[in-house]
A = this chain, B = another copy of it.
């Protein structure tokens, strides 16, 4: 299994504090040691690092720790898997409509084993059919990302308006969740989509800023000292990174999209179910 971290903010912001705690789960406080990656949407373009080493051992992760990159959208992934292939490291990226999109997945799916007649295989090129996006590696995650993009490109010749796009993306995430465990993060640099199948939490920080302490490492941050009055940022993580703030949980099958640090779209099931962290981790372990 893997874990996810993301930040969406009004002004470009540094994910360093959250990363310090999250990175520890890649070999120190947890065993997500089969890869690491980070995608920053900087003001002038996408900066993407990925490695097939554990976050705690990766020279790239060390570089991330030492530099203060500011981005309006950032996605981080630590991987636990049966392989350490570089082609399978998250986040994945593809261009659609002239935009760089980035995707990371936490879960285990069965879409690569689906029969040729299964709907999932009609748009992925598995049968050699003409399609826009074909996986390079052999993960279900990249397969799901390619499926999603093929659906988008087949359905919309041009980028649709935001509301149409958000509804369509939510439908596609719900469809993909039928194939197993599917928590995901997706961003085009403007917005950040979070879809929860089991565990995903978020917290929004804005003025008046407080302080918080990380769970995984002994670090406390006073956000007042590093932010301006109009800064707003939302952090997303598989499980909370701090133990003295109130993180909000996404319900099972909930989809939320953030822009400028705020929630701009939410599709919450009518009878929302919230798993305990213990239950969520147990499902992940048994997947």
Contact = CB atoms under 8 A, between A and B. Distances in A.
Interface of A: 42, 44-52, 59-60, 63, 66-67, 84-89, 94-95, 97-100, 125, 128, 130, 132-137, 157-158
A63 B60 CA distance: 8
A125 B98 contact: yes
A95 B95 CA distance: 9
A130 B153 CA distance: 9
Contacts of A158: 128
**Which of A85, A95, A100, A158 is packed against the most chain B CB atoms within 10 Å?**
A95
A136 B47 contact: no
Contacts of A45: 52, 85-89, 136-137
B44 A86 contact: yes
A157 B132 CA distance: 10
Contact of A134 (B52, B63, B98): B98
A44 B133 CA distance: 20
B59 A67 contact: yes
Contacts of A89: 45
B48 A59 contact: no
A203 to B, nearest CB: 28
A269 to B, nearest CB: 34
A231 B60 CA distance: 29
Contacts of A84: 44
Given A63-B60, A63-B63, A87 B136 contact: no
Contacts of A44: 52, 84-87
Which of A63, A67, A100, A136 gathers most chain B CB within 10 Å? A136
Contacts of A125: 98
Contacts of A130: 157
Nearest to A85: B44
Contact of A63 (B59, B86, B137): B59
Contacts of A42: 86
A28 to B, nearest CB: 22
Given A46-B87, A86-B46, A134 B94 contact: no
Nearest to A83: B44
A202 to B, nearest CB: 27
B135 A98 contact: yes
A46 B136 CA distance: 10
A87 to B, nearest CB: 3
B49 A99 contact: no
Contacts of A157: 130
A100 B133 CA distance: 11
A63 B65 CA distance: 14
Contacts of A97: 134
Contacts of A47: 50-51, 86
